[in-house]
Amino acid sequence: MNQFKSIFLSQSDSIYVDFKQLRRATNSQPCIRIGGRHDDLNDVGYDRNHHTLFEMLGSWSFGDYYKKETCSYVWEFLTKVLNLPTNSIYITYFGGDQKLGLPPDDETRDIWLNLGVMDQKLMPFGIESNFWRASQSSGGGLCGPSTEVHIDFKALCGGDHLDCARCLVNTSSPQVVELWNCVFITHRITVDNDVSGEHLRPDLFQPLAKSFVDTGMGLERLACVMQGITSNYDSYEFSNLMEFIHSKANSSNSSLPMYQGLFLSIPLQSYVDTRTDKGHSENALSSLWNRISGISPPSALCSNSHLALDHSWKNSSISNDLVDAWRRDTAYRILVDHSRALAYALSDGLLPGRQGLPLKIRQLIHRAFRASVLTGLETEVITSSKIKSLLGALVSEVVKSDVLSLQSLFDKMDVIRGPNYRKSDALTSEQMESIINEEVKWFAPRLVQMEESFDRCLEECTDRRQLSAEQVTKLMNGEYGHHLSWDMICAQSCWAGLLPPSPVKINCSSDKDKLSLFKHQKPNSNVISRQLHNLRIPFTDDSLKYNYHLKSKPIVNSISHYDFPDCETKLLGLLVLENKETMNYTLLTQQFSSNSDFTSTIQKLLSKSNDTSTSNNLLGFIFEKTNFFTPCGGQDTDTGFIYNPSKALRFQISETTFLSIPTSNSKTDGWVIHWCKNPNNLLDDLNFDQPFILSIDKERRFNLMCSHTGQHLFTSALESFVLSCTIDSSKFQHIGGTSHPNYFTIKAAIVGAASERMQEDLSNFIKQLEQKCQKLISENGFISIWDTDLAQATKVKEIRYFPWEEYASKVRTVFIRKEKHINDDHDLINSNSVISAELCGGTHLSELSDLQDIAVVAVKGRQKTVKEFTCIFGQSAKCAHQCADDLIKEGQSREKDSIYNPDKKATHINWFESVLNDSRYTGFLPLYARLELEANLYRINHKTDFIDNNQVQLYIDHIKLLIGNNYEVSRAVISKFDFHRLDEVSYFDALIILFNFCVIYFF
């Protein structure tokens, strides 16, 4: 429902007029669910119908039709359109919750009864089953009672003497499965973070102005119903992928059996064997089609023996063969499921990464690859030097098949674009396979260590049902050998036949660690913004953050090049933090008319603090307007000072925070809090009646401008350089970045030939990239700003923006051009003059020459799809390059000297190690220089262990003789060298450094 959240919360922007006026809608959308309140990831592969990706068939009403119409539409579709037998349908509704003051949904119950649903088929359930709640982050806390449709597969297939299945509803029984969920959105839970059911209170439920309907039915489960099968994995779409896995696996191991459809219940201490009977599935399908067609099915078609779905061997021991077969079938299911989710995610531009959703994608790759390796389905990746995984081939197969055909169909239809619309990324199936294989290449060497660590933990496990909190903590801390993530522990537990572990909280290791976290810990922003909103405190005008300009007679490459005017403003509110541990605060406003009243109140609040020094307490100033930049788009905050006109009052601003109103995600309307430490002797001069002057730290602002402009330039240069490697096989996607006063970072996905080139020769890749940036800087381009509507900006193909980001209706586009642009409309007809164009709310230079230089000092994720570049800029980068040149020359000289003077080898090694480990060069030495110095050191360590100067000279003299005798006949010299000892090979190997024109063949 995320795409309609703005309608539910009345946040629709004026530029999406058609979207805002929707009264009802239907949709079919792929949903990936791998986190949050409704996380089913640990069930995927272990049961019949949970998936990481499923196709959700939705219908929506935005204050239009309601409960009566919804239930009628559902019943008509099931019984008349699909012609399902009514005795196979069970209906649940919300039975109320006295503790939360939520009444039973008797209205929905009566509607179902009037539609003809029998009383014994209609059941009430509590808040956990029939009161739907969206998360605060994705759904804004929307909630309401729901009514659900459950299908009894035993009754669906017909047969005599059917037992009542009421007791199986909402029990995870494979016989009775939820098909359709209809939610009546009536309230919003007004808390700032997701809370569990036991922490809910009646006062948290805020009624909505309108009532909404959100219904969802999984296409995969509907396919099971229509095909008469109890497992989604036996449907047509999944079966084809199962056959693909088997054919690929059997190309290296012909003994692997096909998928058998074996399920065991977890924990395996009391397991259930519920194999799928393929013959029964086919018969049930024929029966169902006959029923839909109005033809009575033969009674012999359904096998009653198969419908004893819960046949159990609780009192029997579990054979290893059975467990192996179960794990192999589980691996089949995990591979098929995860490959579909990965194909959709990659096609939508979501790539594996280190945090957030990208990390979830990476974890899916790790889970699927692990399962395939441990069951023998994956073989090539282990035996071949060039990684080509089964998972990568499977994802490619999903893309090539008709699985994504609906997406292409929808792309051709007329659609209403909402705030979250974005186009799919144009990755080819080969590029997707390459992305998967790069992740596998990084993960494969670590898998053995992870399994060994978990096995050591299992040896201590006395409870064969679930790991303890202590064991989970030790696994995460690496006390069994290798550090394991929470996700990997869950995957390993299920694989071992244990229940997933209960969540554990990893505490800070010391009080010092806790104090270090305080800098980033503030009072709850939603609570503060709600209070400011209720008190009608005007929004902060922060437009003055862009109020800076070049001076008429600039001093080039200096902070003096720019003028940053101060800002005179009025105080509207003051946040006084009372307790650092609990984050308790008090908001003071203009109700304090006298200075003495105001000061005494602050002193009283600060006296409650658990901090012995009031000079360490935080005060948060809220002004009418400000020239301070708040963290946005990865750019750091401004710092500076607050003065009164006489400058008797002086507070230092350490950082700023932007708060939007609670019911909006606005990037522009809200309040700016200026966080300061409280000097003891200045409280007497603080009051609301006087004006205040805000002055930013000008040097820090200038450095942030250089950093952010450098980030834009580097991104553009990197993309151009990557795509120039090879037109067809390279792919570039900008993921994001950060801008800091002394460095910036860039995250980008690089796929194909450019990625291979980076891995083969990163040093040369970086040098060429830096040279490209330096050339653009030397041409002294110009930076200009275009303020326009979002809809207009996104129509210009040259403008870069993040499709997953929510932008305001008015946006700023930052252009870097080769020459000044005189047109106000920023017409991009002459696109050759544009170096970079990007939606951005940051602060930037006016002339590119002020950037001076860029140096890459680090690259993270070199073996992965998403790589992170760290760069320095300005005078620091120029000095770094000069230092790099000097160190490289010195390194080459020392390596050569080590060959001719082995007795100096130890001295030279010490020099290299001291330079590479010197903290002065960390974050300063260009990466290409570090790589070359590391290569020098490696060659010294590995190629001069047995070198004797006299022996080397013999080889040199012999080669000179060969060249002299043969030069007039041919420039190619071919000669046989016989080696009898290891040291002779070392002598000859060392000559490669001196004779770079040699080609050597070893036999």
pLDDT digits (tens, 9 = 90+) for 848-860: 999 999 999 999 9
Helix, strand and coil content of the chain, in percent to the nearest 5, comes to 45, 20, 35
In a domain, 488, yes or no: yes
* Distance (Å, whole) CA 274 – CA 131: 31
In a domain, 871, yes or no: no
pLDDT digits (tens, 9 = 90+) for 577-623: 765 555 677 888 876 555 556 667 776 776 665 555 545 577 899 99
Model pLDDT, residue 190: 78
Find out whether the peptide bond into 267 is cis, omega within 30 degrees of 0. Answer: yes
Higher-scoring residue by pLDDT: 560, 580:
560
Q: What are 97's two structure tokens?
A: 């919750």
pLDDT digits (tens, 9 = 90+) for 347-378: 888 889 888 888 999 999 999 999 999 998 88
**Residues contacting residue 571 through CB under 8 Å, at least 6 positions apart:** 621, 622, 623, 624, 688, 692
Cα separations in angstroms, 356 against 120, 656, 769: 45, 24, 29
pLDDT above 70 (res 122): yes
Statement to judge: residues 552 and 671 lie in one domain: yes
Confidence tier at 383 by pLDDT (50, 70, 90): low
Q: What is the enclosing helix (H) or strand (E) of 622?
A: strand 618-623
Model pLDDT, residue 928: 96
Q: Which of 675, 696, 717 is the last residue of a domain?
A: 696
Statement to judge: residues 481 and 526 lie in one domain: no
pLDDT digits (tens, 9 = 90+) for 261-273: 999 887 875 444 4
Confidence tier at 92 by pLDDT (50, 70, 90): very high
DSSP string, 885-954: HHHHHHHHHHHHHHHH-GGGHHHHHHHHHHHHT-GGGTTTS-HHHHHHHHHHHHHHHHH-SS--HHHHHH
Statement to judge: residues 318 and 367 lie in one domain: yes
In a domain, 654, yes or no: yes
Print the domain residue range for 620: 516-696
Q: Which of 234, 254, 280 is the last residue of a domain?
A: 234
In a domain, 67, yes or no: yes
Model pLDDT, residue 982: 47
The mean pLDDT value for 65-88 works out to: 95
Statement to judge: residues 478 and 382 lie in one domain: yes
Q: How many domains does the chain have?
A: 4
In a domain, 318, yes or no: yes
Q: 318-329: buried (b, 16+ CB within 10 Å) or exposed (e) per residue? A: eeeebbebbbbb
pLDDT above 70 (res 23): yes
The residue behind tokens 């003096």 is 560
Least confident stretch, 53-67, 163-177, 187-201, 293-307: 293-307
Q: What are 970's two structure tokens?
A: 């041919």
Statement to judge: residues 383 and 437 lie in one domain: yes
* Distance (Å, whole) CA 219 – CA 29: 10
In a domain, 546, yes or no: yes
Statement to judge: residues 442 and 526 lie in one domain: no
The mean pLDDT value for 403-408 works out to: 52
DSSP string, 113-176: HHTT--GGGEEEE-HHHHEEE--HHHHTTEEEEEEEEEEEHHHHT--SSPPP-GGGTTTT-SSE
pLDDT digits (tens, 9 = 90+) for 150-173: 999 989 887 655 678 899 999 988
Burial label, 734 (beta-carbon count in 10 A; 0-12, 13-18, 19+): middle
pLDDT digits (tens, 9 = 90+) for 655-700: 999 998 766 666 778 999 999 876 555 666 677 888 999 999 999 9
Statement to judge: residues 589 and 471 lie in one domain: no
Model pLDDT, residue 649: 77
Q: What are 103's two structure tokens?
A: 């009444």
Q: What are 405's two structure tokens?
A: 């055909």
Cβ contact 15:791 at 8 Å: yes
Statement to judge: residues 107 and 198 lie in one domain: yes
Amino acid identity of 478? G
Cβ contact 389:381 at 8 Å: yes
Confidence tier at 400 by pLDDT (50, 70, 90): confident
Confidence tier at 330 by pLDDT (50, 70, 90): very high
Cα separations in angstroms, 177 against 49, 171, 174, 225, 570: 8, 9, 6, 10, 62
Q: What is the DSSP pairing of strand 584-588 with strand 618-623?
A: unpaired
**Residues contacting residue 503 through CB under 8 Å, at least 6 positions apart:** 486
In a domain, 340, yes or no: yes
The mean pLDDT value for 984-992 works out to: 52
Q: Which of 679, 696, 713 is the last residue of a domain?
A: 696
Statement to judge: residues 201 and 166 lie in one domain: yes
Statement to judge: residues 325 and 423 lie in one domain: yes
In a domain, 646, yes or no: yes
Statement to judge: residues 163 and 18 lie in one domain: yes
Cβ contact 848:780 at 8 Å: yes
pLDDT digits (tens, 9 = 90+) for 524-533: 677 888 888 8
Statement to judge: residues 196 and 121 lie in one domain: yes
